[in-house]
A and B are shown apart, each in its own frame.
Chain A
Amino acid sequence: MQKLSDRGINLLFQSGAILLALLFTTIVLVLSDAPPIEAYRNILIGSFSSWKQFSDVLVAWVPLLLATAGLLVTFTAGLWNIGIEGQITLGAIFCTGLLRLTLGGDVPPWMAISLSILAGMIGGALWAALAGVLKTFGGVNEIFGGLGLNFVATALTLWLIFGPWKRPGIGSMSGTEPFPMELWLPQIPGLRLSVWSILIAVIGIAIIYLLLQGTYFGLKLKAVGKNMRSAYILGIPTTRYMMSSFLICGLFAGLAGSIQVVAVYHRLIPSISSGYGYLGLLVAMLVNYQALWSIPVSLFFAALNIGSIQLPIVLKLDSALAGVLQGSLVLFVLIMQGARSRFTKRLLR
């Protein structure tokens, strides 16, 4: 009985958060003289009106879910791996690099693709390791270390696109020379979606779910995240566990970056990470360590991203509206969580 009413209160506050986020976004729309209902309708149309649209949502969902999966590991270890953007980028760079190496050789395409994905994962892990070393051995907060590395990764991309990897002729913001079709992850005819990438994402989140729920590794990571000193005294090698969580997150981020190259853009572009790292942080915060919940939540966030692409064309609004809605949603969920515990505490008194 107690449990039931608890859940009821929880639900009440959570729906309150969603309503407040909608209200906030609506006010923002009204402030900028835009018709709110029209705007929401367009986001829905843009993401769900046809198979083609929905498949685009899934295309965005895959890297977002992979990034979130990785972040769940670092979050469990109590780490804010903001450097994930750079890790995705490095994944894409390594992946592109390896694919370029296979060009003109006689490596079978399936092997080239697999190797390039692997290379991307290693790239992401290396970049994460850097943030991890700075944190564990240098005492540099992972937020600042990670951010710095993000900017460096972006610069590296630009340098490659305009320098060593520039298109024949002159480098341009549109990225490197696209790879031939046989180096693409096979797509569903007529769509940009690849069944393979969906499969990879689903397997990825399943692995993370198992890792965090059922293994000693997950439990120890949780202890490290909640109280590092106690965890150390209990015999857990905390440094090693923190580094592992960075590496695992880096592997997943690199995987997401690889997917962006082999399944979506088929080349390296300046903002290859598409902000999925930061968005993944929001999703991970929202699902509060529950891996399975990240599947629908990241799908919803991906839908907002894809749906809002319509806005500039149809309503002359900036597509940043998706970010406003996503950000305010997380903000109000956090606020409502606090309000709820304050509320229940008061009831107890």
Chain B
Amino acid sequence: MTGISILIGLAGIITAAAPIVFATIGETITERAGVINLSVNGTIILTAMVGFATAVTTGSTLLGFLAGMLVGGLVSLIIAFSSITLKQSQVAVGFVLALLCRDLAYFLGNPFMGLSGPRLSNFHIPLLKDIPLLGVLFFRQDVMTYLSILLIFAAWIWIFRTRPGLMLQGIGERPAAAFVRGANVNLMRYVYTVIGGALVGLAGPVYSLSVKAGWKGTISGLDGIGWIALAITIFGGWNPLRAAFGAYLFALLQWAGLVLQPSLPNIPSQVLQVAPFPLMILALLLVNIGNTEWIERTLAGLPEDVRRLIAKILRSLRASPPASLGVPFEQD
């Protein structure tokens, strides 16, 4: 493989990761506020269909993306309403919506199956595109890829560097304390759930109008990506930078699978295709195992320096969720 083809491949990874970045950052924002949106998998499939259908009908990719955000926002609004206002289990409602949105996409998307539609074109940024290496990698992408990269930093700055962002952390961590500091906890949870949902809703159209252009119903290859995005959110420790790292790592692995396949004829294609899922389990195992009781007990029985070392490694891997994730807030 030549240098330039590797470079193009890497640039492709950044494109391919864009929808996952949108979904994980959206979910990170929602979960930071203390709400789990488990519908991501269904939302991505539904918004992919809606975005594609809108773009085909109107001829405008922009409207396609907006439609995706609208639908993603609406789905998350249902989660917000049933969990915040009605105090129903977020997991239950999210899971039902994950299934419902998927079936809804397959049912409503039937007439759009296999149609050819508009596709997002690349937009080379003048001057920057000619920088060696970086130009090919970062500045000959499409608009949504640029936006996805911007979103990573914007979300990070918002959460860790702004006053409302600190409050967002507080709302997910200890709503009662946020409340006495003047936050309208439940309203803010609504707002962040819907913003996060709208971002997840962008992931679908990014697939159907760019990364995997078109709508092919059940064989669109989108089923499962949403679950991966949820896992990456955990792996990312609710930090946009670490989450983005997870998204790029995932895209890299997928690409590596495609590239390696011809050179590994003995490994059936099915194995490489599902490789991300065991890896997802492994990643979750690494970030969570430090929280388990038996590890603590086992460690206590080890000699001092070994214990220190292992504890240190586990701590650096560990990710702790916002303390009030999934817990409804009641004033009295």
Q: Give me the interface of A with B, judged by CB distance under 8 Å.
A: 28, 31-32, 80, 82, 134, 137-141, 143-145, 147-149, 151-152, 154-155, 158-159, 162-163, 278, 281-282, 285, 316-318, 320-324, 327-328, 330-331, 334-335, 337-339, 341-342
Complex contact A331–B96 (CB within 8 A): yes
Complex contact A159–B284 (CB within 8 A): no
Interface flag for B114 (CB, 8 Å)? no
Contact of A143 among B91, B107, B110, B111 (CB under 8 A): B91
Q: Are A155 and B270 also in contact (CB < 8 A) when A285-B96, A320-B106 are?
A: yes
Interface flag for B280 (CB, 8 Å)? yes
Q: Which residues of A contact B132 (CB under 8 A)?
A: none
Which 8 A/B pairs are nearest by Cβ-Cβ distance?
A: A338-B86, A327-B100, A323-B103, A139-B288, A320-B106, A155-B274, A148-B277, A320-B107
Q: Which residues of A contact B89 (CB under 8 A)?
A: 334
Complex contact B86–A147 (CB within 8 A): no
Complex contact B294–A140 (CB within 8 A): no
Q: Are A138 and B107 also in contact (CB < 8 A) when A323-B100, A334-B93 are?
A: no
Complex contact B107–A28 (CB within 8 A): yes
Query: Which single residue of chain B is at the shortest CB-CB distance from A278?
Result: B99
* Shortest distance between the CB of B81 and any CB in chain A (Å): 8
Complex contact A137–B100 (CB within 8 A): no
Mask, B74-97, CB within 8 Å of A = 1, is: 000010011001111101110111
Q: Give me the interface of B with A, judged by CB distance under 8 Å.
A: 38, 78, 81-82, 85-89, 91-93, 95-97, 99-100, 102-104, 106-111, 217, 224, 227, 230-231, 234, 268, 270-271, 273-274, 277-278, 280-281, 284-285, 288-292, 294
Complex contact B270–A140 (CB within 8 A): no
Complex contact A331–B100 (CB within 8 A): yes
Q: Complex: how many Å from CA A337 to CA B134?
A: 55
Q: Are A323 and B86 also in contact (CB < 8 A) when A138-B292, A144-B231, A285-B92 are?
A: no
Complex contact A144–B280 (CB within 8 A): yes
* Shortest distance between the CB of B257 and any CB in chain A (Å): 12
* Shortest distance between the CB of B284 and any CB in chain A (Å): 5
Q: Which residues of A contact B227 (CB under 8 A)?
A: 144, 147
Query: Which single residue of chain B is at the shortest CB-CB distance from A316?
Result: B110
Query: What are 10 of the A-B contact pairs (CB < 8 Å)?
Result: A148-B231, A149-B277, A151-B224, A155-B274, A158-B268, A323-B102, A324-B104, A327-B100, A330-B96, A334-B93
Q: Which residues of B contact A330 (CB under 8 A)?
A: 96
Q: Are A339 and B86 also in contact (CB < 8 A) when A144-B230, A152-B278, A154-B274 are?
A: yes
Query: Which single residue of chain A is at the shortest CB-CB distance from B275?
Result: A155
Complex contact B268–A148 (CB within 8 A): no
Complex contact A335–B271 (CB within 8 A): no
Complex contact B289–A138 (CB within 8 A): yes
Complex contact B270–A162 (CB within 8 A): yes
Q: Complex: how many Å from CA A322 to CA B99?
A: 11
Complex contact B110–A318 (CB within 8 A): yes
Residue among B97, B100, B234, B284 having the largest count of chain A Cβ atoms under 10 Å = B100
Contact of A159 among B91, B271, B281 (CB under 8 A): B271
Query: Which single residue of chain B is at the shortest CB-CB distance from A337?
Result: B88
Complex contact A342–B86 (CB within 8 A): yes
Query: Which single residue of chain A is at the shortest CB-CB distance from B287?
Result: A139
Complex contact B284–A151 (CB within 8 A): no
Q: Which residues of A contact B102 (CB under 8 A)?
A: 323
* Shortest distance between the CB of A136 and any CB in chain B (Å): 8
* Shortest distance between the CB of A42 and any CB in chain B (Å): 14
Q: A148-B280, A318-B109, A324-B104 are in contact. List 12 more A-B contacts (CB 8 A).
A: A138-B285, A139-B291, A148-B278, A151-B274, A155-B274, A278-B99, A318-B110, A323-B107, A327-B104, A334-B82, A337-B88, A338-B82
Q: Which residues of B contact A159 (CB under 8 A)?
A: 268, 270-271
Query: Which single residue of chain B is at the shortest CB-CB distance from A286?
Result: B96
Q: Complex: how many Å from CA A2 to CA B116?
A: 61
Complex contact A137–B277 (CB within 8 A): no
Q: Complex: how many Å from CA A163 to CA B269?
A: 11
Complex contact A324–B100 (CB within 8 A): yes
Q: Which residues of B contact A141 (CB under 8 A)?
A: 234, 284, 288
Q: Which residues of A contact B108 (CB under 8 A)?
A: 28, 31-32
Q: Which residues of B contact A149 (CB under 8 A)?
A: 277, 281
Query: Which single residue of chain B is at the shortest CB-CB distance from A275?
Result: B99
* Shortest distance between the CB of A20 and any CB in chain B (Å): 12
Q: Which residues of B contact A278 (CB under 8 A)?
A: 99
Complex contact B87–A338 (CB within 8 A): yes
Complex contact B110–A32 (CB within 8 A): yes
Complex contact A155–B271 (CB within 8 A): yes
Q: Complex: how many Å from CA A54 to CA B91?
A: 34
Complex contact A282–B96 (CB within 8 A): yes
Q: Which residues of B contact A80 (CB under 8 A)?
A: 91, 95
Q: Which residues of A contact B109 (CB under 8 A)?
A: 318
Q: Which residues of B contact A337 (CB under 8 A)?
A: 86, 88
Q: Which residues of A contact B290 (CB under 8 A)?
A: 139
Q: Complex: how many Å from CA A338 to CA B89?
A: 10
Query: Which single residue of chain A is at the shortest CB-CB distance from B224?
Result: A151
Complex contact A163–B268 (CB within 8 A): yes
